[in-house]
Chain A
Amino acid sequence: MWNTISFGEACVEPAIKQFLAPCQERCPINEDIQRTNVLISLLPKDLQQAKEGLTQIGDYLFENNPFFPVCGYVCGICELGCNYQSKGGSIRRRLLKRFVSDYYLDHLDKKQEYDVVKDTGNVAVVGGGPGGLMCAFHLSKKGYKVTIFEGSGRLGGALWLIPHYRLPKIVLQRVIENMLRVAGIEVKYNSKLGEGNLSLDKLRKDGYKAVFIAKGTPSPRVLTFGRDLVDNLDLEGVMYGQTFLYEVSRGILAKDYVGGKMVIVIGGGNVAFDVARSARRLGGDVTLVALECSDKSSKDCIPADYEEIRGAWEEGIRMIYSRGVSKILGEEGRFTGIVSPKCISVFDKEGRFNPQFDIEDAITVNGDVLIITVGQGPDWAFLQREGLLDNQRRLAVDPLTLQSHTKEWVFLGGDVRRVGFMVDAMREGREAAVSIERYLKGLDIKAGRKRQFEPFEIPQLKDEDYRSEPEVVWIPADRRLNFQLFEQGFSLEEAIEEAKRCLYCGPCVSCRACVSVGIQDDLPTVVIHENLCSGCGICVSSCHYSAAHLKEVGGSLVAATDMFRCKACGVCVPSCPAGARELIGSDMQKRIAEVYASL
């Protein structure tokens, strides 16, 4: 079995303009996707042997992204960037990662704690969601003593609101517990900043040199029609989606709250679909009312993922598109239905959310329970109190470094800054960790931070050379109306096949998997003997990856190779009529000479 532990790290350097595989460019934390795909494709077919390799792949991913087992269940943003997308379906990277995580979790429970002396300074992280945990993890690794102040009794934040049929509870629990244990992070539960005597100034007095605030978005957005709040929000049977998901995950929702009832869910985001599908699983007869239309190519399209919509449709959830809510109806304090006018446009010309309705065309939808899931926002009152807002009542924070403009020792990130996916919050946590380290060491906080990555285009194959995506098996709708995982993962054989389908678009420097496995000693590089080069440009036309180009040196043209694009295929070497190009680091020629001499 190969051993990747000690050598061959992928090199993703944020300071230089660099090309990346399009999936890696798409991933907010630029995970080494191509590298792990190559490693999975090189696993042995025997499961016992493969486990050793899977542990190595997992350990590698864990260093940068301790949340990767969770990503394997819920993320998959990288698949949107895949070059294969229009050629037979994206590489199922999410399921590949889930496959790694399924075998890695057992090893994670036994993983050694990091041997770091924590004496570089105290840092407080407010909020234990993905952003806060990521920041704490990366700072702890560097020797900072990090304390997380978590408002509730458990860590994970909004990740707990993901229904268990998508993300099993046990996976999330194990990942968080092990992350805390391995990195040695301290947690103070039930300590909400802004409540009691816990304030930013108190943290400062207690010796915390920097604070990262990632409190997320605890306040649900209220339902409005035009500029006014919709009445009757306090009726019995009206609830916010976030509260609903929280109560479902905690198991404290009354059993007959939705069971056997007509449930109306308002909203068209992924969270609304989580709510609708959870309510359906609890026995409700669910209707989803979304402002947006179903046409994914329209500017007013529904923001939820196609897979969510397909899943909901299969499970028998009625969907009403392009309709809003103008009135909430009630009788004797109980909710009975909504009046729903036609929505003719959701976003205005500037792309701002500004829905227009046709009041004439309104229908009444009857129901027993209303669940409102139209977004959520941060706790503005708290931010105002602590003086973290600017004159226009917006968050005063540098988007690049996440440093607060008003208090230089405070950093803000995650959903509190901008609502996004889990991995967006994780990225901000990681960026904040870099900022905090630079701030505490007195370094320039901005230097070289701007990321410049470009997706790498590869030469297209012939159509018949593309292979179609594997079928992802979902448990049939009539048997999946419970909170068990409904999507089946890959077996070892399927995972290897799928990883082989990957086109490995990215340049070699950002992958280096072959070096780690020992297939090559190092990446070969092309050197140009400039005294031999005549600048004819034949190499430029022979290069598949547009790496060879001509540059002007002292008034004449000379060939050069862009090392970020070069894949060291060596095509340019024999193409050069003057023999000015040479591939260095490849032992093939030497070995051939040796063998031929011995004949």
Chain B
Amino acid sequence: MEFIPKLVCFSCKFGWGYLNSNGYDRQIKNLIPVICIGKVDTTHIIGAFKEGADGLLILGCPDGQCHFKTGNYQARKRILLLHNILKEFGIEPGRLKIALNIDPEGTRIPIIIEEMKTEVGSLGPLSSTV
């Protein structure tokens, strides 16, 4: 049977999908809209892997366009550091991705998730436990 990876996606509400008012966030599986990706904590990320996620995607605003000024920078910094730690745990850095862009309609979210699915799919299921 073909492996379908389980993904969790955090998306910033200011940059992604706020114009799509007919409940896009409920249609995309495992999407968690947050007010700013600066709020996504390391415990949230590690928790997701602990609970059985195969990959994690974080969608934020481009540099200098964060509504809270530096939230995206904080998130990027956190992920850079986490990548190093995750390696030690045997979790490939490819399983944790951050994309900084603006997409008020949210139309590109499913496309990015599909791309990530094929990438994580090639890595196989998460073998290591955190």
Contacts and interface: CB of A to CB of B under 8 A. Distances in A.
Interface in B1-60: 6, 8, 13-14, 18-19, 21, 30, 32-35, 39, 41, 44, 47-48, 51-53
Contacts of B53: 596, 599
Interface stretch (B66-74, B79-87, B92-100, B112-120): B66-74
A579 B6 CA distance: 32
B34 A588 contact: yes
A588 to B, nearest CB: 6
A45 B15 CA distance: 13
A502 B50 CA distance: 39
A339 to B, nearest CB: 58
B64 interface: yes
Contacts of B13: 514, 519-520
A503 B44 contact: no
A574 interface: yes
B69 A592 contact: no
A470 interface: no
Contacts of A3: 21
A588 B35 contact: yes
B124 interface: no
B39 A595 contact: no
B14 A592 contact: no
Contacts of A185: none
Nearest to B71: A569
A500 interface: yes
Interface in B96-130: 104-105
Interface in A457-480: 461, 465, 467
A467 B39 CA distance: 24
A2 B52 CA distance: 36
A519 B18 contact: yes
A519 B35 contact: yes
B16 to A, nearest CB: 11
Contacts of B48: 596, 599
A592 B44 contact: yes
A599 B8 contact: yes
Nearest to B7: A599
B70 A465 contact: yes
Interface size class, chain B: 20 to 34
Contacts of A49: 19
A2 B41 CA distance: 29
Contact residues of B: prevailing secondary structure: loop
Given A574-B41, A599-B53, A517 B18 contact: yes
Nearest to A587: B33
Interface string A557-599: 0000000000001100010000000000010100110011111
Contacts of B64: 465, 467
Interface size class, chain A: 20 to 34
A42 B18 contact: yes
A408 to B, nearest CB: 50
Contact of A500 (B32, B52, B65): B65
A504 interface: yes
B68 A518 contact: no
A252 interface: no
B69 A465 contact: yes
A41 B19 CA distance: 12
Nearest to A567: B68
Contact of B51 (A44, A518, A599): A599
A9 to B, nearest CB: 19
A591 B35 CA distance: 13
A553 interface: no
A46 to B, nearest CB: 10
A49 B82 CA distance: 40
A595 B44 contact: no
A500 B63 CA distance: 12
B35 A44 contact: no
Given A2-B21, A503-B69, A596-B47, A591 B14 contact: no
Contacts of B14: 42, 514, 519
A8 to B, nearest CB: 14
Contact of B39 (A2, A461, A570): A570
B51 A596 contact: yes
Contacts of A170: none
Interface centre among A41, A500, A591, A599 (most CB of B within 10 A): A599
Contact of A2 (B18, B30, B33): B18
A500 B104 CA distance: 14
A519 B14 CA distance: 7
A400 B33 CA distance: 47
Contacts of A597: 51
13 contacts: A1-B21, A44-B19, A44-B105, A461-B70, A465-B69, A514-B13, A517-B18, A519-B18, A586-B35, A588-B39, A592-B47, A599-B30, A599-B52
Interface of B: 6, 8, 13-14, 18-19, 21, 30, 32-35, 39, 41, 44, 47-48, 51-53, 64-65, 67-70, 104-105
In the A-B complex, list the 9 residue pairs whose CB atoms are closest, starting with the nearest: A596-B51, A599-B52, A519-B13, A599-B51, A595-B30, A591-B32, A599-B6, A519-B18, A588-B34
Given A461-B70, A500-B65, A599-B51, 18 more contacts: A1-B19, A2-B18, A2-B19, A3-B21, A42-B18, A44-B19, A465-B70, A514-B13, A518-B18, A569-B68, A588-B35, A592-B44, A592-B47, A595-B30, A595-B32, A598-B30, A599-B52, A599-B53
